[in-house]
Amino acid sequence: MSVSPSFAKNDPELVEWALRCLRVPRDQVVRLRARGATRLPVDTPVTAGLLLSEFAELQEAATCSDLAMPAGATECPWTRRQLAELENDYADEILAKRVTVLTLLERFPAITLPLFLEMAGPIRPRYYSISSSPLADPRRVRITVGLVEGPAWSGAGRYRGMCSAYLAGLEPGDVFYGYIRVAAPPFRLPDDPATPVILVGPGTGFAPLRAFLEERALTGAAGPA
């Protein structure tokens, strides 16, 4: 099983950066209209600061469609040319450097708030494997998270993982919202606790293996692990 802190918030510094680039006051109230299904707050008054803090994705690498969207919407010929060149060199200039929509916003002031939100999209869930056994405490779930932090590949300042940085900043007693997602097919130990197992990270690191080791310890398994 995995747990998703699906309502992580953007780093306040990133939000301030976006507000400066958009030339929008933090407390300016906006009301969004949706062209289709979206997880952004539509038909509801919301401040620009709250919108960029809790709803807009600010750190994902821009896609090819993100580059094409402002090129067709802006009246600035220089912006259209530059974006077209980046689209042609997408693999090297955008994807390899993890250039975000926010970075593009700083480079191209012709991108407006509505266009930026279409490009950035809503914050997507981040999933973490549960790293504890329900046998230890059926009412408590533990996760294992490493803080992702380092120089941004794009060359624009430092990168901090959105959800890992958010979780690292929480204090005892703080509340975050998430939900449990059950893997299909289920990822679990054999029913017989004496069955030997070889533990190999399944792409989520060591976290689920910690849960398995804890469960084996609590069941007093005699078999080697």
Q: State how beta strands 179-181 and 2-4 pair.
A: antiparallel
| Arithmetic mean of pLDDT, 104-122 | 86
- Rounded CA-CA distance 210/191 in Å is 17
- Rounded CA-CA distance 174/181 in Å is 22
| Higher local confidence (pLDDT), 27 or 110 | 27
Has residue 200 got a pLDDT over 60? yes
Q: State how beta strands 128-129 and 2-4 pair.
A: antiparallel
19: confidence class by pLDDT, cuts 50, 70, 90: very high
Per-residue pLDDT at 90: 93
222: confidence class by pLDDT, cuts 50, 70, 90: very low
Per-residue pLDDT at 3: 60
Average pLDDT in the chain: 85
Q: Examine residue 185 and say whether the peptide bond preceding it is cis (omega within 30 degrees of 0).
A: yes
29: confidence class by pLDDT, cuts 50, 70, 90: very high
Cβ contact 59:52 at 8 Å:
no
| Higher local confidence (pLDDT), 198 or 222 | 198
Please report the beta strands in 56-112, taking only residues with DSSP state E, as ranges in sequence order: none
- The letter for the amino acid at 52 is L
| Arithmetic mean of pLDDT, 116-137 | 87
72: confidence class by pLDDT, cuts 50, 70, 90: low
Structural domains present in the chain: 10-120 (1.20.990.10)
- List, for residues 163-196, the tens digit of each pLDDT value: 888 998 899 998 888 888 887 777 788 888 788 8
C-alpha triplet 56, 105, 58: angle, nearest 5°: 25
Inter-CA distances, 179 with 2, 4, 96, 127, 208, Å = 9, 5, 32, 10, 17
Per-residue pLDDT at 34: 76
Per-residue pLDDT at 224: 47
Closest Cα to residue 131, out of 33, 69, 71, 212? 212
4: confidence class by pLDDT, cuts 50, 70, 90: low
Query: Residue 142, exposed/middle/buried by CB under 10 A (0-12, 13-18, 19+)?
Result: middle
- List, for residues 134-162, the tens digit of each pLDDT value: 889 988 889 888 888 888 887 777 888 88
Has residue 132 got a pLDDT over 50? yes
